[in-house]
Chain A
Amino acid sequence: GDSVTQMEGPVTLSEEAFLTINCTYTATGYPSLFWYVQYPGEGLQLLLKATKADDKGSNKGFEATYRKETTSFHLEKGSVQVSDSAVYFCALSEGYGGATNKLIFGTGTLLAVQP
């Protein structure tokens, strides 16, 4: 079945460092791809999404590009802040509308940014 694999954490960076969190996926069809973020003590929030190949999702300085040829959706940010410390989840949706909107998540990557 469909699955998502993301790099294990924790990832520890200094403020203003460059961030990459790798995510690859396996899917039989043409999934939509997402990054969710979970700040300490809060629920999951959608950070960005991409619905087709070569789409770039972006939000709050984070970016990820849907690469069908490498089945990847790596999360990047040019300069992280302490406030970016959170757990980041890569996810895919098997259906885009239609019968199901089920999300399949990776295991999450803890990012800790030090001042």
Chain B
Amino acid sequence: EAGVAQSPRYKIIEKRQSVAFWCNPISGHATLYWYQQILGQGPKLLIQFQNNGVVDDSQLPKDRFSAERLKGVDSTLKIQPAKLEDSAVYLCASSLDLLAGWDEQFFGPGTRLTVL
């Protein structure tokens, strides 16, 4: 079974530029998560989708970050404009269906963003 796919794997931009990350979850997984992992810290949840609806975006900096999952499958996370402190690894994860009880989150390889 294919895992969670993310692209690009690496991205370098200058501050104030825009950037977008793409995630394709495991087939059939209803729940999708975006985490931000700053160097030396553990991952922090930015946003969680159940199908195409947002379950939790309480830690998403909405003035510059946006995310969508229009058809309940792929998702895109955008930063506009980027700041130096956005340099991090952005992880996408998916799970079968959180409403069905606990289910394991499967993580993609991440996108490493460097903002200069």
User: Which residue numbers of A lie inside 8 Å of B, CB to CB?
Assistant: 4, 32, 41-46, 51, 89, 91, 93, 95-108
Contacts and interface: CB of A to CB of B under 8 A. Distances in A.
Interface residues on B, range: 20 to 34
B103 A45 contact: no
Contact of B48 (A4, A97, A102, A108): A102
Contacts of A42: 109
Nearest 4 pairs of A and B residues by beta carbon = A105-B42, A97-B101, A44-B107, A43-B107
B49 to A, nearest CB: 12
Contacts of B53: none
A44 B4 CA distance: 11
Contact of A44 (B31, B91, B99): B91
Contacts of A45: 107
Interface string B18-58: 00000000000001010100001111110010000001100
